[in-house]
Amino acid sequence: MGIKYWEFEDAPLKDKLKDVKVKEIAKIFYDNETEAYRFSLLLLEVKKKGQLRLKEIPAAVPVATAKRYLDYAVQIGLLKHEGTAYMLTDRYSKPFRNIATYIKAWMDSTADEDLSIQFANAKTDKQAKRGGRQSREGSKQDEADNAQGEQTN
């Protein structure tokens, strides 16, 4: 966690509260732009819908990755997980009160945010599968390609 405490002292915090963005929240917990993008995408989805289930995850994020990020958000106190849904909450201890103030201001804001502008350098597409078992459709396609290759030889 890369918390830059001077950004959340009282004077700079008042200036930051004028224009709250989910990017600032994600950058507290992730230094990597792609990880911060995925984390903020999921937080934004939870905020828009009020609650988020794993079957409603955006297509840009794999379900296993989304579950890892959402569970991390539960651990740090941003979300709560009840039943099968993730919802916003604010359970921060006293040392993180200014961060909690910023996060609460973001939760209460109604401004639309464009993550493609905020995270211009993030990898936004799904990562290709790296091995393991092939899906049935993939193996049928491979068999068809092999059969076609044998016919041409």
Query: Could you list the pLDDT tens digit for every one of the 153 residues in the chain?
Result: 455 554 556 667 777 778 888 888 888 888 888 899 999 999 999 989 999 999 999 888 899 999 999 999 888 888 889 889 999 886 654 445 667 777 788 888 888 888 887 787 787 777 777 776 665 555 555 555 555 555 554
Site of tokens 């068809």: 144
DSSP for residue 117: H
> What span, in angstroms and rounded, lies between the C-alpha atoms of 65 and 69?
6
What does the pLDDT read at residue 147? 56
pTM (predicted TM-score): 0.59
What is the domain range of residue 111? 5-152
Domain count, the chain: 1
- Pseudo-torsion of CA 18, 26, 55, 128, nearest 10°? 140
Q: How far is CA 13 from the centre of its chain?
A: 24
Residue 70 CA: distances (Å) to CA of 18, 28, 77, 135, 151: 27, 15, 11, 27, 50
Q: CB burial class (10 A; 0-12, 13-18, 19+) of residue 13?
A: middle
Residue 82: helix, strand or coil by DSSP? strand
Q: For residue 78, what are its two tokens? A: 């941003």
With CA atoms as reference, report the closest residue to 25 among 123, 96, 121.
96
CB-based burial, 112-149: b 16+ in 10 Å, e otherwise: eeebeebbeebeeeeeeeeeeeeeeeeeeeeeeeeeee
The residues facing 81 across adjacent strands are: 86
